Amino acid sequence: MNGIVLKTEHLTMQFGGVVAVDDLNIEIPQGHITALIGPNGAGKTTAFNVITGGYMPTNGRVVFHDKVIGENHPRSKMKKIYNGSDRTTFHHQVVNTPDKITRLGMARTFQNIRLFKELSVFENVLIAKHCRIKAGMLSATFRLNHVEERTMREQTQELLKTVGLADLAREKASSLPYGKQRRLEIARALATSPSLLLLDEPAAGMNPKETEELAQFIKDIKDSFNLTVFLIEHHMNLVMDISDKIYVLDYGKTIAMGTPKEVQNDPAVIRAYLGVEDE
């Protein structure tokens, strides 16, 4: 395991002529909070989608707990545009659908909240437990798995208590306030018992106080669920506060990486965020 939970090697994602993610190399050590930041359209969410199996990368490899979960090599017309140094290194194609990757222990949330809106808070979390079910369809129908079912329900109740949504368990997910919906989405991701949690802009649309609470919440769940966290974020306060390491993307390229302090003073980052002074 050597301490690295997730590693991407030369990860490139190209849509037609647009290179959304260009040669991304990330290493996320066990138990760390790593952040991916960058201006709008820098390719952060695309990177997430490639890592979680939503897209097949144009080039490169995603390694999760020493297991290759996604790998591709540049082919056909993509080859002409992509000129990464190691472009001939990868010869296989490994494709995994998002559900398989989730079952391997990588859970994610979405930038625009994607809850099961018409279902209750409790059901939202309970459904996420389905991916660990052992009973087959028939035995579930005839309730031969009632012990398992009961455990699932108890664990769900417990989890809701941990994230502070226990008293809202019967509410419809869409009726929750925005901040709670974010929290529920994280709870739902936690219900799949992941070892790596990917958060896509968890603080989007939150006020400073809520953001502060969220920072504490992320730290708490990281410790209590023994997680590694990888997050995309725009709120600099949050990122600087909780991250151990930051990667900065701009136009798909990694322009800086390092500890919060290093990144903050990096001229390339300042340029990307604030623009260049006209001389």
Partner 1 sequence: MRRSRNTVLSVISAGVFLAILYMLNLNRAGNGMLISIMQKSAIFALVAVSMNLLNGFTGLFSLGQAGFMSIGAYTTAILLIPVQSLDGVYYMNGINPGIRALKVFLSALPPWFQSVYPFVALIIGALFAAVIASIVGVAVLRLKSDYLAIATLGLSEIIRALFSSPQLDGITNGSYGLNKIPAFPKMFGGLVPPIITPFIVSAVCITLIVLLIRSSYGRAFMAIREDEIAAEAMGISLFKHKSMSFIISSFFSALAGGMLAMYMRSIEAKTFSITLTYDILLIVVIGGIGSVTGSVLGAFLVTASKEWWLRFFDQPLELFGWDVPLFRTGFRMVIFSILLMMVVLIYRRGLMGTNEFSWDRIFGRFKWKRKKVQGGGS
Binding residues for partner 1 (CB under 8 A): 52, 54, 97-100, 102-103, 107-108, 110, 114-119, 123, 126-133, 135, 137, 140-143, 145, 149, 152, 188-189, 191-192
Q: C-beta of 259: minimal distance to partner 1 in Å?
A: 30
Q: Which residue, 10 or 188, is less far from partner 1 as judged by CB?
A: 188
To partner 1, the closest distance from the beta carbon of 199 in angstroms equals: 13
- Cβ 260 to partner 1 shortest distance, Å: 29
- Minimal distance in Å, beta carbon 147 to partner 1? 13
> Least separation, in Å, of the C-beta of 159 and partner 1?
14
- Minimum separation from the CB atom of position 67 to partner 1 (A): 16
Centre a 10 Å sphere on the Cβ of residue 144 and count the other Cβ atoms it contains. Answer: 13
- CB-CB contact of 94 with 69 (8 Å): yes
Q: Show the beta-strand stretches assigned E in the chain.
A: 4-15, 18-29, 33-37, 59-64, 67-72, 106-108, 196-200, 228-232, 245-250, 253-258
162/193 with CB nearer partner 1: 193
Nearer to partner 1, 132 or 161 (CB): 132
Calpha distance 135→14 (Å, rounded) = 40
Whose Cβ is closer to partner 1: residue 221's or residue 263's? Answer: 221
Nearer to partner 1, 89 or 145 (CB): 145
Between CA 249 and CA 25 the distance in angstroms is 11
User: What is the β-pairing status of strands 106-108 and 196-200?
Assistant: parallel
For 227, phi then psi, to 5°, come to -105, 165
d(CA 60, CA 49): 14
CB atoms within 10 A of CB 230: 26
- Looking at the Cβ atoms of 125 and 221, the one nearer to partner 1 is 125
Residue 132, CA distances (Å) to 66, 100, 193, 236, 279 in order: 21, 11, 8, 36, 59
